Amino acid sequence: MIKNKKAYYDYFIIEEFVAGIQLVGSEIKSIRKGKASISESFCVFTDGELFLMNSNVQHYEFANQFNHDTKRPKKLLLTKKELKKLQTKITEKGLTIIPLKMFVNDKGLCKVVIGLSKGKKLYDKRETIRKKDIERDIERYSK
């Protein structure tokens, strides 16, 4: 499972969706090995379809000449209802769609958990750090 740890620090997650992702053969093999990064990626609507941009899936070492482009835009597979809902929400000021997790399910299909999110201000980030410290101290003293 590949996680975007910065997402929970930099954004308020309003709603989460699980989307399929359209990949080529060598990409899924790299993701299964855990050689991917979604920490700097984001989602964009193009012609009514949602694409995952700037995600890095490293080359698969045994694919030689049939390897993939590492930063290729990947189409996210959602229902029309979910796409329409996201597209209307994204027109609101300050909302964006970011990937939170990427995983391979039991059937061997790659899924991406995307979140409709709003960016945090600096004082919100400080509050998040303060809450984590308090929870850590409580956990430490309760043992």
pLDDT tens sequence across 8-55: 888 899 999 999 999 887 788 888 888 888 888 999 999 989 999 998
Q: Where are the beta strands (DSSP E) in 1-143?
A: 2-3, 11-21, 36-37, 42-46, 49-53, 56-57, 74-77, 95-104, 110-119
Q: Which residue has the tokens 């499972």?
A: 1
**What does the domain layout of the chain look like in residue ranges?**
2-142
The answer, as to whether pTM is greater than 0.85, is no
Topology annotation, domain 2-142 = Small Protein B; Chain: A; (2.40.280)
Residues with Cβ within 8 Å of 76's Cβ and at least 6 positions away in sequence, in order, are 19, 20, 21, 22, 43, 49, 50, 51, 52, 112, 114
Q: How is the chain split among helix, strand and coil, in percent rounded to 5?
A: 35, 35, 30
Q: What is the pLDDT of residues 45-89, one digit of tens each?
A: 999 899 999 988 887 777 676 666 678 889 999 999 999 999 989
The length of the chain is 143
